[in-house]
């Protein structure tokens, strides 16, 4: 995870103009008790992969980055990006300082029937994308 932490330190979630910092659990662990416990149970696979040597070197991690990212993106999509929404809200976004294209996309995504959630557009926001990622 050290390499993951180093790449995260280069992102806006680590360093930004407001000084607010998201930490690993803010994005990867739900705040509600039952979803949190379920996520911790699921995380045993991550620990096992490291302990058994599947991802214990940077090269092995890179070889599996794509499948791990896909699994995480699916988890976030299934929860309607609930961990993102713990900090970010459409109401709190300032359209004056956003790019016009972002304002348009956020307005469309905010519609209840859009089917869009944060992770649909923001893959790679806190970690490097897999080399073969389509987005």
Q: What angle do CA 109, 113, 117 make, to 5 degrees?
A: 40
Q: Residue 74: what pLDDT?
A: 94
pTM for this predicted structure: 0.82
Residue the block writes with tokens 């379920």 = 38
Choose among 5, 126, 13: nearest CA to 61.
5
Q: What is the pLDDT of residue 111?
A: 85
Task: Report the pLDDT value the prediction gives residue 45, as an integer from 0 to 100.
Answer: 87
pLDDT tens, residue order, the chain (135 aa):
677 888 999 999 999 888 989 998 999 999 999 999 999 999 898 889 888 989 888 899 999 999 999 999 999 999 999 999 888 988 888 889 899 999 999 998 888 788 889 999 999 888 999 988 765
What token pair was written down for 23? 């930490």
Residue 49: per-residue pLDDT: 86
Crossing angle between the packed helical segments 33-42 and 44-51, to the nearest 10 degrees: 20
d(CA 58, CA 62): 6
In this structure, what are the phi and psi dihedrals at residue 73, rounded to the nearest 5 degrees? -60, -40
Q: Where are the domains of the chain?
A: 2-121
Cα 2 to chain centroid distance, Å, stands at 17
Rounded CA gap, 54 and 5, in Å?
19
């Amino acid at each position: 995870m050290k390499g993951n932490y180093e790449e995260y330190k280069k992102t806006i979630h680590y360093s930004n103009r407001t000084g607010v910092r998201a930490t690993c659990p803010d994005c990867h662990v739900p705040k509600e008790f039952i979803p949190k416990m379920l996520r911790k149970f699921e995380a045993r696979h991550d620990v096992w992969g490291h302990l058994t040597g599947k991802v214990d070197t940077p090269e092995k991690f890179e070889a599996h980055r794509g499948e791990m990212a896909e699994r995480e993106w699916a988890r976030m999509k299934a929860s309607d990006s609930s961990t993102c929404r713990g900090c970010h809200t459409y109401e709190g976004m300032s359209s004056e300082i956003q790019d016009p294209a972002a304002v348009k996309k956020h307005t469309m995504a905010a519609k209840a029937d859009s089917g869009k959630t944060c992770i649909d557009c923001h893959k790679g926001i806190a970690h490097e994308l897999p080399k073969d990622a389509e987005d």
